Structure 1
């Protein structure tokens, strides 16, 4: 039995003070409010439930900053993608594991406790299949085991380089499968994560441009009742191509032709109409927003305030991992709405006037739904949480929702002092317990790539 005592905690039913929490076998057994600390309890400042990072390409952590040089022509997502291909085709299994481990360390240090790994580098450098179809996914699982983060592995189906079933380009050979090979990949991926506590496997048709309609339906069937994640409407060019080839905008096409429901996560959905927003909300699907990456790539701004007002659900992800920071993802989401609408506190409401709490709890619930896990501190739930240091100057005199407003909007780092997953502490004093060893391997891996 483990015990913790918090000066304050955000529980499933709201804020409470002087909270004692006990857990056994990684799950919360009891919560007592307004009580004194027992002698055996660990004492901490503020406890918050850990949040799910619903969209990550872990290997891209290794190319952070490499695409920030202007080219001879106008730069965009499509020119960034060329650098991404170059990096993706350079890494092998060992490099992937080392890079993913650092990404997962940084996620935990920022308050993420579960990751949805949208994993698409499947084959060897020459495009040939490994003996184990899930060789690269096994390396992702090993990085998760070492660092302690929860894993929802989302192997990607990539079949075409564009609408109309265009054959994948040479630089996309590491990603590509036919539908039969994809079924074997999913089966092997389930074996790869079988030993990880709380791990899940979903399916991830890459996008409408990369997966023809018939194969999209087959991929969803292969996934059974697990999560379904897909990139959609990230770029204007994608919307225009979808209109030209399928006669509909991508989100509308999905709503009309796919069984979109609460299992689904529509990643980005940046360029949507009000009717599409309402349709997503009615189906109960989650929109996966990645504000730091979307800003870095110049994608555009998702109308989050309008989506929330329509009853929509969202979560956040670190996507390209150019910078991994839960608070900044949430802050960037609100700030994008302010810049677009020239107003303030746009995602909050009369029912919950705190913008920090609205962002935090909405992202927590939406991310958990998208990854098929739980969110919140309550008896029976996993003991997945992080603590804030009340000695941080920004939190001086703050209570309740003011703590979350400070965490989201005035957090320059150093607020999180501990992170636990399944009752096990992985971050102490703001640093992951394996950080030094992970960083050494990461540096060696990058040096070996010569990029």
Structure 2
């Protein structure tokens, strides 16, 4: 049993003072006592640490290296994707593990206790499976053991290049599986996840309507069998046009008409939705998986958070391409995008909650739902996914409650995070990951090897 004492904490749906949280040996919160005498590990402010609900770990190694214009004089998501494919050809399993451990370390230091890894890098560069079909799934799991992050592994089904069934190109063959081989891959990944700490989980991720046929999507939904089900949708206008031409409906419209989308679904991006689609998605109970930094970087568009939250839609936050790992930057980019579009302020605040409170609390609860992880709220029985803020930080000193959260989200950065626990594992102390030196050293060696391919 370990005890964490906080001067103030967001407990359930209210703020409390002098809070003692007892964490059992199983990594779950055993009890919570308010107005308790100081004891155990003492922190300033305690918050539920969210799940990062969407990550492609390997893309971290590309951060900052795709910001030049191509020969055409104009860059887009599609030209960026070609650069990503070229980079992929060079990655070895050992490098995949080193990159994943590094980005997971950054996530923990940034305030995420867990990650849902949308894992589509499965095979060798020529598309042939490794002797162990789950080789790269195992590498993601090994990285999670080293970093201590909570992991929900989402093996991705990716079988075609277009809605009309065009074969995968050279840059895509490392992703590719038909349904039968994917089923074998998923079973092996399940075995590997079962050997991880008890808070690890697994789901299924049909990549997108473009990359999975209609029959295969039905099979993938069946394979999920109640587990998390994540899918890219409505990210780019070209994607919307392709689905509309092939299926006669826009992506979100088609999906809602043909599948029972509900609470176990997480739909990633949703930046190209009509008002009708926005309202319809909100009513399903699914989670909109938003990645504002990547959506900004790739020019995807702006998710209509105002309309979505007016309908009580659920959302969570992911880092996607991992160009920058910062929970607070994702949250404020989401809010600022609404302000720029609608030319207002405090767009996502409500009558009862400040902007920072609504953003943070929504991301914590939505991310937990998307990963089917028992967290998102500090409550007995939940995993001890906990984030501590240093209330002596200049912009936090003397601030309490929602004002504290507003200051963290809109004036803060990762340096305000003093400690983080993932399922009771105290992996960030004094704002640094406990294995930072070893993880960074291996990442440096990996990047030195890869430099000629970047």
Q: Distance in 1 between matches of 2:217 and 2:30?
A: 42
Alignment match, 1:63: 62
TM norm structure 2: 0.97
Task: Name 2:325's counterpart in structure 1.
Answer: 324
- The alpha carbon displacement at 1:422 in A equals 2.0
Deviation by residue 1:190-219 (Cα, 9 ceiling, x = unmatched): 011112221111111110010010100001
**Distance (Å, rounded) in 2 between the aligned partners of 1:331 and 1:363:** 12
How far, CA to CA, are the matches of 1:42 and 1:382 in structure 2? 18
Return the alpha-carbon distance in structure 1 between the equivalents of residues 270 and 21 of structure 2. Answer: 39
Shift of 1:250: 0.3
1:13 and 1:330 mapped to 2: Cα distance? 19
How far apart, CA to CA, are the structure 1 residues paired with 2:297 and 2:28? Answer: 38
Does residue 415 (structure 1) correspond to residue 413 (structure 2)? The answer is: no
Structure 1 equivalent of residue 311 of structure 2: 310
Give unpaired runs (5+ residues) of structure 2.
none
Q: Post-superposition shift, 1:436? A: 0.8
Counterpart residue number, 2:193: 193
How far did residue 23 of structure 1 move? 1.6
> Does residue 139 in structure 1 map to residue 139 in structure 2?
yes
Alignment partners' CA distance in 1, 2:47 and 2:437? 26
Distance 1:278 1:42 in 2: 45
Q: Work out whether 1:424 is the aligned partner of 2:432.
A: no
Which residue of the partner structure matches residue 203 of structure 1? 204
CA distance in 1, matches of 2:382, 2:227: 20
Gaps of 5+ in 1: none
Matches within 5 A, 1:266-277: 266-277=267-278
* Contact 2:231/2:267 (<8 A) preserved: yes
1:169 corresponds to 2:157: no
Q: Which residue of 1 aligns with 2:394?
A: 393
What's the offset of the Cα at 1:413? Answer: 3.7
Structure 1 partner of 2:447: 446
> Which residue pairs with 2:290 in the alignment?
289
2:279–2:307: 8 Å Cα contact kept in structure 1? no
1:70 to partner: Cα distance: 1.1
Match of 2:87 in 1: 87
For residues 121 and 382 of structure 1, the distance between their equivalents in structure 2, rounded to whole angstroms, comes to 29
Q: Tell me how far apart the structure 2 counterparts of residues 158 and 440 of structure 1 sit (CA, whole Å).
A: 33
Displacement of 1:171: 1.4
Distance in 2 (alpha carbons) for counterparts of 1:35 and 1:151: 33
Aligned-partner Cα distance in 2 for 1:203–1:30:
33
| 1:113 pairs with 2:90 | no
**Which of 316-325 and 122-131 deviates more?**
122-131
Are 2:393 and 2:416, in contact at CA under 8 Å, matched by a contact in 1? Answer: yes
Aligned equivalents of 1:70, 1:229: Cα separation in 2: 32
TM-score by length of 1: 0.98
Measure how far apart 1:299 and its partner are: 0.6
Question: Secondary structure of the equivalent of 2:415?
Answer: coil
For residues 342 and 108 of structure 2, the distance between their equivalents in structure 1, rounded to whole angstroms, comes to: 33
Q: CA deviation at 1:91?
A: 0.4
Question: Which residue pairs with 2:383 in the alignment?
Answer: 382
State the Cα distance separating 1:71 from its structure 2 match.
1.3
**Which portions of structure 1, spanning 4 or more consecutive aligned residues, are displaced by more than 2 angstroms?**
none
**Pairwise CA RMSD of aligned residues?**
0.9
Contact 2:51 2:367 in 1 (8 A): yes
1:233-272 map, 5 Å: 233-272=234-273
C-alpha displacement of 1:351: 2.4
Deviations 1:206-260 (A, max 9, x none): 1001001010000111111101111000000011111111100000000001221
**Which is further off, 147-156 or 83-92?**
83-92
Per the alignment, in what secondary structure is the counterpart of residue 216 of structure 2? Answer: helix
Once the two structures are TM-superposed, the CA of residue 35 in structure 1 deviates from its matched residue by 2.0
Determine the structure 2 residue equivalent to 1:125.
125
Alpha-carbon separation, structure 2, partners of 1:413 and 1:351: 27
* Residue number in structure 2 paired with 1:104: 104
**How far is the alpha carbon of 1:109 from its aligned partner?**
0.3
Give the Å deviation of 1:4: 1.6
Q: Deviations over 1:53-97 (max 9, x none)?
A: 000000000110111111122100000001111112210100000
Distance of 1:411 and 1:266 partners within structure 2: 29
- Choose 26-35 or 110-119, whichever is displaced more: 26-35
Distance in 2 (CA, whole Å) between partners of 1:416 and 1:88 is: 33
